[in-house]
Amino acid sequence: MEQVRADGFDEFVAARWSALLHVARLLTGGDRQRAEDLVQEALVKLWFAWPKVAEQAPEAYVRTVLVRMAARSARRRWWGERPVEQLPDRADPDDVSSTVAERRRLEAALALLSPKQRVAVVLRYYEDLPEAQVAQALGCPVGTARSHASRGVARLRQILSDAVRPVG
């Protein structure tokens, strides 16, 4: 029973790890270490809810947990960092590929938003969620979620106006 549960859970995590990590990176404004911690914590919570959620929508569950934790952890001053023997690999500063450059610019711009604006923008424009679900994930009224998203986009427009045009 436990083995079946672990197998199904591991399959899901292996399949969705990259996407979840990317969402977490967007939600944290490009902080890879924090993103990994968020994904880890969300997946631990998913493990305990797995018997109930496995047959329904585990990814939606993880996403909701991730969004709430990202909004909450942004208010924390200490991120629970622990010393490690090896430093995590960072992006090579000499890597000038366009994708990496764009990602960095995007993450830097997202980092300048408030946590709720960031969450609203990511859920609305990356996950393509309707406003009602964004509001549900944020735990606020639809009008407030719409306001967060529009203000976040306005701020990103201001920051990225020069960066997005060349890509398009």
Partner 1 sequence: MDDFERDLSRLMRDTQQHTPYEPEHRQRLHADIRTRRRSRLLWKAGGSAVAVAGLSVGLALLPNMLTRAQPADQDRRPPPATSPTPSYEDEPTTNAPDPSPSSTQPASSAPATATATGGDTPTGATGTSFRPTPTTTVPEPPATSEFPTPPPSPSPTTALPSRLETEEPSSSAGTE
Judged by phi (left if over 0) then psi (alpha if -120 to 50, else beta), residue 97 lies in: beta
To partner 1, the closest distance from the beta carbon of 98 in angstroms equals 10
**What whole-number distance in Å separates Cα of residue 136 and Cα of residue 115?**
16
83 vs 168 by CB, closer to partner 1: 168
User: DSSP class of residue 93?
Assistant: T
74 vs 164 by CB, closer to partner 1: 164
To partner 1, the closest distance from the beta carbon of 160 in angstroms equals 7
65 vs 160 by CB, closer to partner 1: 160
The residues of the shown chain that bind partner 1, judged by CB under 8 A, are: 10, 13-14, 17-19, 21-22, 26, 40-41, 43-44, 47-48, 99, 102-103, 106, 121-122, 125-126, 128, 153, 156-157, 160-161, 164-165, 167-168
**What whole-number distance in Å separates Cα of residue 129 and Cα of residue 134?**
6
Do 110 and 29 contact (CB within 8 A), yes or no? yes
